[in-house]
């Protein structure tokens, strides 16, 4: 049921985090505020393919 997704920083485009999501309840792409160790600040991280 749950699918593994990769989150990438919207500023530097580095893939920093992995998480799981329920495809039936959240069909659209995830977007979370996470800390990017490359940018050294909190940025929006979006789900990648």
Count of other CB atoms within 10 angstroms of residue 32: 12
| pLDDT score for 27 | 92
| pLDDT score for 49 | 83
| pLDDT score for 22 | 95
pLDDT digits (tens, 9 = 90+) for 1-49: 899 999 999 999 999 999 999 999 999 999 999 999 999 999 999 999 8
Fold of 2-48: Rubrerythrin, domain 2 (2.20.28)
What tokens does 29 get? 């792409």
Furthest-apart CA atoms within the chain: distance in Å:
34
Q: pTM for the complete prediction?
A: 0.86
């Amino acid at each position: 049921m749950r699918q593994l997704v990769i989150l990438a920083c919207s500023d530097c485009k580095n893939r920093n985090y992995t998480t799981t999501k329920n495809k039936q309840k959240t069909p659209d792409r995830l977007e979370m505020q996470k800390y990017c160790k490359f940018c050294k600040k909190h940025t929006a991280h979006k789900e990648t393919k």
